[in-house]
Amino acid sequence: MPKVGMEPVRRKALVDAAMRVIGDHGSLTVTMSEIAKQAGVSPALAHHYFGSKEQLLIETVRVHLQRLRDSVVTALRAAKTPREKLSAVIRVSFQADQFAPETIAAWLAFYAEAQSSEETRRFLVIYARRLHSNLVANLKALCRAGDAERIAEGAAAMIDGLYIRQSLRSAPISTEASIALTEDYLTTCLNALED
Amino acid sequence: MPKVGMEPVRRKALVDAAMRVIGDHGSLTVTMSEIAKQAGVSPALAHHYFGSKEQLLIETVRVHLQRLRDSVVTALRAAKTPREKLSAVIRVSFQADQFAPETIAAWLAFYAEAQSSEETRRFLVIYARRLHSNLVANLKALCRAGDAERIAEGAAAMIDGLYIRQSLRSAPISTEASIALTEDYLTTCLNALED
DNA sequence: TTTTATTGATTGATCAGTCAATCAAAAATA
DNA sequence: TATTTTTGATTGACTGATCAATCAATAAAA
């Protein structure tokens, strides 16, 4: 079996497996055995490639955020006007794979982990800043800087809040309803400023 | 040392200790030893009174939510008009002890735990429902039922979102700013309906 | 004496991490 | 081409640490 060049394949498989296990489990207290089993390799191999469980989990967060970032970049490129770009950011935040229960569970676990892992915290701060600055940049084309900051804070909080409420799976809100609610917030705020 | 009637004293001490340890630690992966030590008793005693770690943690969530509930009830009683009651609900959500970093860390840990503990999930669902219905009930006095539902969803999401963003401790938002942002959301939404 | 409070010592399970050994492809050499 | 050597991939078995949970023993009140 042993072919050369397995490293990237295994690393990806293990990171994907970690995401799945974390999502199912709904927590970062997962074992290397579970992850390795899910990836179809031995626990020892996971250690061989990642050195430690912590490193594997950190890499998992990193990859996850990278993918989200890519989606955002793509969506922003497709949108023309500032208003369209705002909608694009919102839409990506709630797109199917992001809003799936397992993904939400994983996000929540990452946020909790950030309390004790400085590196995880750093990644999430970067995500939060990026979301914020994407919103502010486009809002500034539509209103004054001060208002843009305030509205962006509100919109970002609403997006994150819709996530966390979704995680409880009580009275789940549909993707469309979540998008509508956030869009509505933006529209209402912007309209209010024009009067 | 052994006096009679220590049970309620110890239970309270252990639950308080659990809150503190969870808050410091920023996660529910705390040991019975840590909690017991913080409460100044032996780990064995914690087991004696709670039977298991899980039960102690569940009781901790319960007590925590109970306290929040009490604050809300008190604040609601003091407020007269529906609009004042809405402000009261918002104010309590962000009041000093609720918005302290350790408290937020604990909340986050509870949300994460809810993914795997049915009982924890149930408690948090009750909290979410209560927040929602408090908002809806008072909004209905100010606008139509459909709008009340929608605005309540948005406000609740914004409150939770401000919490989770606070947990990252990057660009922390002050209590006053958080209250202002949520108040502003309500006011803007209600004004928009009147036009 | 009986009951309640309390603990130290212990057990059993779980896991992260290590290590020596194996296997097969690739590279070097004859 | 055939043979040997090297190297990457992989694992089973093991270790050490941690921790929840148990229990028998002790001490003080009732």
pLDDT tens for residues A71-130? 999 999 999 999 999 999 999 999 978 898 889 999 999 999 999 889 999 999 999 999
Write out chain B residues lying below 8 Å of A115, CB-based.
Answer: 25-27, 105, 108-109, 167
CA nearest to A122 within chain B: B168
Could you tell me if A118 lies within 8 Å of chain B, comparing CB atoms?
A: no
With a cut of 90, say whether residue A17 has pLDDT above it. Answer: yes
Nearest CA among B155, B148, B144 for reference residue B183: B155
The SS3 of residue A164 is helix
What is the predicted pLDDT for the residue at B52? 95
What is the predicted pLDDT for the residue at B1? 44
- Length of chain A as a residue count: 195
Write out chain B residues lying below 8 Å of A116, CB-based.
Answer: 25-27
The answer to whether the CB atoms of B112 and A27 lie below 8 A apart is yes
User: What's the half-sphere exposure (Cβ side, CA atoms, 13 Å) at B110?
Assistant: 29
Q: Is the CB of B180 under 7 A from strand C?
A: no
> What CATH architecture does domain A60-194 belong to?
Orthogonal Bundle (1.10)
CA nearest to B22 within chain A: A115
DSSP class of residue B172 equals: P
The answer to whether the CB atoms of A173 and B153 lie below 8 A apart is yes
Percent of residues, chain A, with pLDDT higher than 90: 82
Task: For residue B118, give the amino acid letter.
Answer: E
The answer to whether the CB atoms of A112 and B161 lie below 8 A apart is no
Q: Is the distance from CB of B188 to CB of A195 less than 8 angstroms?
A: no
Q: Is the distance from CB of B157 to CB of A156 less than 8 angstroms?
A: no
CA nearest to A161 within chain B: B161
What does the angle CA B136 – CA B59 – CA B49 come to, to the nearest 5 degrees?
165
Nearest CA among B112, B133, B101 for reference residue B20: B101
With a cut of 60, say whether residue A2 has pLDDT above it. Answer: no
- The total of other beta-carbon atoms located within 10 Å of residue B132's CB is 18
Q: What is the pLDDT of residues A143-158, one digit of tens each?
A: 999 999 999 999 999 9
Cα–Cα distance, B157 to A161 (Å, whole number): 4
Q: Is the distance from CB of B27 to CB of B35 less than 8 angstroms?
A: no
Long-range contacts of A84-90 (CB under 8 A, 24+ apart): A85/A134, A85/A138, A86/A135, A86/A138, A86/A139, A86/A186, A87/A183, A89/A131, A89/A134, A89/A135, A89/A138, A90/A155, A90/A159, A90/A179, A90/A182, A90/A183, A90/A186
What is the predicted pLDDT for the residue at B26? 86
- The total of other beta-carbon atoms located within 10 Å of residue B128's CB is 17
Low-confidence spans in chain B with pLDDT less than 70: 1-3
Give the bases of strand C that a protein CB approaches within 7 Å: 4-9, 14-20, 23-26
With a cut of 70, say whether residue A1 has pLDDT above it. Answer: no
Cα–Cα distance, A33 to A30 (Å, whole number): 8
Q: Is the distance from CB of B53 to CB of B32 less than 8 angstroms?
A: yes
Q: Is the dihedral of CA B111, B127, B157, A178 positive or negative?
A: positive
What is the predicted pLDDT for the residue at A3? 58
Q: Is the CB of A174 under 7 A from strand C?
A: no
Which residues have C-beta within 8 Å of that of residue A86, sequence separation ≥ 6?
Answer: A135, A138, A139, A186
Q: Is the dihedral of CA B97, B98, B104, B107 positive or negative?
A: positive
Distance in Å from C4's C1' to B48's CA comes to 12
Q: What is the pLDDT of residues A132-189, one digit of tens each?
A: 999 999 999 999 999 999 999 999 999 999 999 999 988 889 999 999 999 999 999 9
**Which of A25, A160, A170 has the CB atom closest to B125's CB atom?**
A170
Chain B contact probe: residue of A158, A169, A189 with most B CBs at under 10 A: A158
Distance in Å from D9's C1' to A53's CA comes to 20
- The total of other beta-carbon atoms located within 10 Å of residue B47's CB is 15
Distances (CA, A) of B177 to A67, A79, B168, B170: 32, 32, 17, 15
Could you tell me if B29 lies within 8 Å of chain A, comparing CB atoms?
A: yes
> What CATH architecture does domain B7-194 belong to?
Orthogonal Bundle (1.10)
What is the predicted pLDDT for the residue at B77? 97
